[in-house]
Amino acid sequence: GGSSGGEASLLAARGSPLGLGTDIAGSIRGPSLFCGICGFKPTPGRVSCKGIAVPRPNDSNGQAVVLATPGPMARCVDDLELVMRVWHEDGKMHNDDSVVPPLSWKSDIYTSSSKKKLKFGYFTDDGYFDSCAAAKRAVIETVEALKEAGHEVVELKFNFEQLCWSFVKLMSAEGGLQGFIDSLEGEELNPIYLFLYKTANIPTFLRPFLAKIMDFTGQNRIGGLVREARPRSTYDYWSQNATMKLQKKALIKKWEELKLDAVVCPPGGVPAMPHGMSSKLAQASSYTFLWNIVHFPAGVVPTTLVRADEEKYEGRKDSITAAAKIAGVDSRNMPMGVQVVTLPWKDELCLRAMKIVEDVVKWKIPNPLA
């Protein structure tokens, strides 16, 4: 469920009232979804990373496009906001770490959640990974609840698939999964990463040929990984980064044209999966990592449970879908929710929108001890 999976399970089991996680591709939001709790990924830079260990030699990561950020995890949105407010009280976050912008926490934006109505956008599929039936239903039910409460909701149509591919291209550009290997400092690579490792180490001259075979056999997404998850020259890396920035610019333009306050979408392609299945379903995290690459704040709110008639997964015919079908077996009663997103540096508004969703859906997290 991500690097913060233990924190999420502890919260879900009522072993702790609050938790802290880190998120570079969904490691706060994924575990929060799987465990049925709330999790918030702030705008990168809004919360200090001082004192947080980096899984790279000398605690320093040279990859500076997709940025990791710490964030709170809890069983309700109010507790997430409490952590953010305390962290930023009296400018203490900036005073303790001058790298953090000297921004105060605007509590009035959050507390006005019951007053001014917001305009929400929504989508149920990012074009990269087909979301499961429960994820789609969670979004649609939330949309209907928001409308009933008087909020305006419109569909957000955008080419999110290209943003997802930009994430893949930029995060694999060093080649050979070298960043992971360096961080192990001689330890053996966890078997869960073997597929990514093998894909990253395919010889360059073989990639076009293998990708065409994958495409011909209907494995277009695997073919895309073979083609794009490869080492890149500095110039190629710059070019891909420039492309991503244009995609981000287009998204913000669309967002502002629609005059959206926030967006509601799936927090993941599938619910919690059997242990070890993540090695075959990394693509299901596209719903979280697409927001990491554009640096938007985003959070997860649990809203429902998977129904018995939603255990069967439907998607395009390839090995990724086959893995998702296996993961869906016996997923009934697994937590499902929605993800709420706002533009960068609108963290207070993001939490306000999450609180609105929590209030209108009126779903209570089950107590495992009851």
Nearest to 38 by CA among 3, 71, 73: 73
Cα separation, 324 vs 319, in Å, equals 9
pLDDT at 2: 57
Question: In the chain, which residues have pLDDT < 70?
Answer: 1-2, 113-114, 370
pLDDT of the residue at 62: 84
Instruction: Quickly list DSSP for 30-84.
Output: HHHHHHT-EEEEPPTTSS--TT---SSGGG-----SS--EEEEEESSHHHHHHHH
The CA-to-CA distance between both ends of the chain, in Å, stands at 25
pLDDT value of position 295 = 98
CA distance 367 to 303: 14
Bridging pattern class, strands 38-41 and 18-23? unpaired
The answer to whether the beta carbons of residues 224 and 207 sit under 8 Å apart is: no
Please report the pLDDT score of residue 242 as a whole number.
97
The model's pTM is 0.95
CA distance 241 to 233: 12
